[in-house]
Amino acid sequence: MPLEECRIPVTDLAILRGIGVFDSIRSYGKNIFALNEHLERLKESAKKCGIEADSIMKELPAIIKKGVNHELAPNKDMVIKPYITGGEINDHGHFPKPDFFVIFEEAHVLSPEELNNGVALRPVYMQRPFPEAKSTNYLTGYVPMIGAKPNEFEALYIVNGEITESTASSFFLCKEGRIITAPVGKVLRGITREILIQLLRENNFTVEERCPLESELSQADEAFISGSVKEILPVIRIGDQTIGNGHPGPVAKHVHKLFLSNLKRWM
Ligand SMILES: *Cc1c(COP(=O)(O)O)cnc(C)c1O
């Protein structure tokens, strides 16, 4: 149905208490990218949050496949967002009767200008709560953006000097020929992150799964963030710290090309 006609009861715990998880899946035309990987993560997110989603998870693959081919679906690259809400029952942190919906909309992909210019990130000195869940609650990423500069794209979480991830992206630092990214457990298991690590290792890059340190930023050659809709986006400044020469570099560009040329493997 058209999105404007979709309704959810005001008594759902997603509204009353912010209990909900979701995932964000990209399609290239009608080809869905890494569907199984995303659904597996959605299941993990629900589990981490006490949402009992087994029966919903069984329904989702067919609904998503039907949705992308529906006459109302945009005839463009899409973002498909399955949401699982807490529903109306809170049984001591268990949510036994969750509800769900799936949004299909045109993917707002980055402009060539955004890719060529790169973006800045705004440091925020805290941990994203329950990092292994893709929760609908983004307050920790949004509140620190009050007063952000126009080119500050997302908040970058830094915990005790360790860089984890940004508001809705995985973070990578390039230094001395190595590519460094935080380990799962401290960050969400980004699907793009996982695919990039695999592709980089296949292509003889050295990938270190540890948190990049804030103190390493001044020696970094490049940085970039990744996510299903944004793919790979160069980062040129973090707070007041310029990254490398302040312009997108060759590694981020190469990684993006590598990603695009391997898309079919995950369709
Ligand atoms: C969605 C998200 C990501 C990126 O994950 P992908 O699966 O690559 O889209 C990374 N970190 C956070 C906090 C996110 O919400």
For residue 18, give the CATH number of its domain: 3.30.470.10
Query: What mean pLDDT do residues 133-160 have?
Result: 96
Q: What does the pLDDT read at residue 37?
A: 98
- Paired with 28 in beta bridges are 31
The strand pairing partners of 99, in sequence order, are 85
Do 152 and 232 belong to one domain? yes
Rounded-to-integer distance, Cα 19 and Cα 145, Å: 22
Count the domains in the chain.
2
Q: 152 and 245: one domain?
A: yes
Q: Specify whether 80 is located in the same domain as 102.
A: yes
Question: 27, 121, 188: which to mutate for ligand 1, most atoms within 8 A of CB?
Answer: 188
pLDDT in tens, 100-139: 999 999 999 998 988 999 999 999 999 999 999 999 999 9
Contacts of residue 152, defined as CB under 8 A and 6 or more positions apart, other chains included, come to 119, 120, 121, 122, 145
Residue whose CA is closest, atom 14 of ligand 1?
168
- Taking the C-alpha atoms of residue 232 and residue 212, their distance in angstroms, rounded to an integer, is 18
Three-state DSSP at 104 gives strand
Q: Can you give the residue range of the structural domain that contains 44?
A: 3-106
The CATH number of residue 244's host domain is 3.20.10.10
Ligand 1 atom with the smallest distance to the CA of 167 is 13
Task: State whether 59 and 129 are in the same domain.
Answer: no
Query: Any idea what DSSP says for residue 229?
Result: T
Pairing relationship of beta strands 162-166 and 169-175 according to DSSP bridges = antiparallel
Q: What residues are paired with 170 via a beta bridge? A: 165, 226
Q: Is the CB of 192 under 6 A from ligand 1?
A: yes
Strands (E) located in 64-98:
78-85
Q: State whether 159 and 96 are in the same domain.
A: no
Domain match, 137 and 90 both: no
- pTM for this structure? 0.96
Structural domain ending residue among the three candidates 68, 87, 106: 106
> Would residue 134 show up in a list of annotated catalytic residues for this protein?
yes
**83 with 146, same domain?**
no
The widest CA-to-CA distance across the chain, in whole angstroms, is 53
- Does residue 121 sit in the same domain as residue 230? yes
* Helices of type H across 119-205: 139-142, 191-202
Domain boundary at 83, 106, 129, which?
106
Read off the tokens for 173: 């630092």
Q: Both 130 and 196 in a single domain?
A: yes
Residues 36-71 as b/e (b if ≥16 CB within 10 A, e otherwise) read: ebbbebbbbbbeebbbbbeebbeebeeebeebbeee
How long a stretch of residues is the chain? 267
Same domain for 118 and 92? no
Instruction: Tell me the per-residue pLDDT of 170-200, one tens digit each, with 9 for 90 and over.
Output: 999 999 999 999 999 999 999 999 999 999 9
Task: State which of 73, 106, 139 marks the end of a domain.
Answer: 106
Mean pLDDT of the chain: 97
Asked if 141 and 204 sit in the same domain, the reply is: yes
Given 66, 97, 134, 253, the catalytic residue: 134
Instruction: Please check whether residues 96 and 120 belong to one and the same domain.
Output: no
